[in-house]
A = this chain, B = another copy of it.
Amino acid sequence: MHENFEPYYAVIFTSVRTNEDAELYAATAQRMMELAKQQEGFLGEESARNEIGITISYWKDLKSIKNWKQNAEHLLAQQKGRDSFYKYYKTRICKVEREYSFEK
C-alpha cells in the first residue's frame, strides 16, 4: 500500500484573527497563496476558516520551507500578521510519513 512513498513536509498554520483590516487580510492571504505556488518545492495548499483558521502548505523539503519563510514579500506579510491580522497563531513544521485517501 505504501510502496515508494516519498516523505514530504507539511506546514500547519493555525490562527485566530483580530477584527482588523478584513479587506487587506483577504488580499494579503490571496497574494501569499499565489506567491507560495511560485516557490521551488511547493506541492500544494489547503485552507479553511471558522472560529480558527487552518492553512496547510505542503513542501518537498525543509530547505523549500526555509526559503519561503525568508521570502522578502512574505516577511512583510508575516510582520503585518503580528501587527494587525492575528490575535494568535501557531506554526508547526511536520514530516508527512504516511498517507492514504478515499474517493467515491
Grouping DSSP codes into helix (H, G, I), strand (E, B) and loop, the A interface class, with mixed when no group exceeds half, is: strand
User: How many A residues are at the interface, by size bracket?
Assistant: 35 or more
Contact A14 to B46, CB < 8 A, known contacts A93-B96, A94-B94, A98-B92: yes
Point out the residues of chain B lying under 8 angstroms from A49, CB to CB: 48, 50
Point out the residues of chain B lying under 8 angstroms from A14, CB to CB: 46, 56
Instruction: Pick from B50, B87, B100, B104: contact of A90, CB below 8 A.
Output: B100
Q: Does A86 contact B (CB under 8 A)?
A: yes
Q: Does A82 contact B (CB under 8 A)?
A: yes
Report the Cα distance A5→B67, complex, angstroms: 23
Instruction: Pick from B54, B82, B97, B102: contact of A48, CB below 8 A.
Output: B54
Residues of A within 8 A of B (CB): 10, 12, 14, 18, 46-54, 56, 81-82, 86-104
